[in-house]
Amino acid sequence: MEISDLKAELEKLHPASFGWALSCCRRNHADAEEVLQTVYLKILQGKAIYRGESKLQTWLFAVIRKTAMSERRKQWLRTLISIPGTTSVVHNELESESERSEMQQRFQQALAQLPARQRETLHLVFYQDLSLSEAAEVMNISVGSARRHYERGKKRLRATLDREGVDYGIEWRRKENSGAVL
């Protein structure tokens, strides 16, 4: 694939890619932006080559995931040797925290409590609308494992939401039937 064609395709996938990068970076806006930029750099330098063996989206998401993991490792090393000026920007998250609805905040907190694999599977299925086999391909695991993570993650998320927010269902019903008396 020519770089100009690839660029056009990447542009189409950009919002979804950013959402996935955010999920891989534990909802840190600055980190997600950096990861996505690094991914584009890898593509430009030819370090990440799309060979057409799978869907472009699954390939791109796999690259984003790997890059986010290596960036996280680097950050961990930096914190170990504590180089000044390398602490990640957390204030972005705090600023936007107040803007979110209470329900959304609770949902994100519940998501954050999930193990990484479960969170990733749920994100790929519900947010990115991928099938379980595609999600497995992105995460480089078997379909069986992806299904297990999906089921466990769903169960755990539901339990956390039920425990933390009693009005989880009420809020939902309010959205679905705004005229209904609760």
Partner 1 sequence: MELSGDEKRIQALFSELSLEDQTRAPRFEKLWLRAEASATAPAPLVTRLVLVATVVIVTMSFVAVRSWLSSSQSQQVANIPAQIIPTTAGPRLQHSELSTASRNVARPRRFARRQTERTAITQAAMLSNWQSPTNILLNSPTVSVLSSLPQLNQSARDLEQFLPKKNNELLKESKQ
- Phi and psi at residue 54, to the nearest 5°: -140, -175
Residue holding tokens 């609308």? 129
Task: Count CB neighbours of 27 within 10 A.
Answer: 15
Q: Please report whether residue 143 would count as binding partner 1 according to CB under 8 A.
A: no
Query: Closest distance between partner 1 and the C-beta of residue 91, in Å?
Result: 14
Q: Please report whether residue 169 would count as binding partner 1 according to CB under 8 A.
A: yes
Q: Please report whether residue 33 would count as binding partner 1 according to CB under 8 A.
A: yes
Helices 56-81 and 29-45 pack at an angle, to 10 degrees, of 120
Q: What is the DSSP letter of 123?
A: I
Q: What is the DSSP letter of 84?
A: T
Residue holding tokens 């100009």? 4
61, 107, 120, 160: residue in contact with partner 1 (rule CB under 8 A): 107
The one segment of 55-63, 65-73, 74-82, 96-104 that binds partner 1 by CB under 8 A? 96-104
- Interacting residues toward partner 1 by CB under 8 A: 7, 10-11, 14-15, 18-19, 22, 29, 33, 36-38, 40-41, 43-45, 96, 100, 103-104, 107-108, 122-123, 125-127, 131-132, 154, 157-158, 168-169, 172, 175
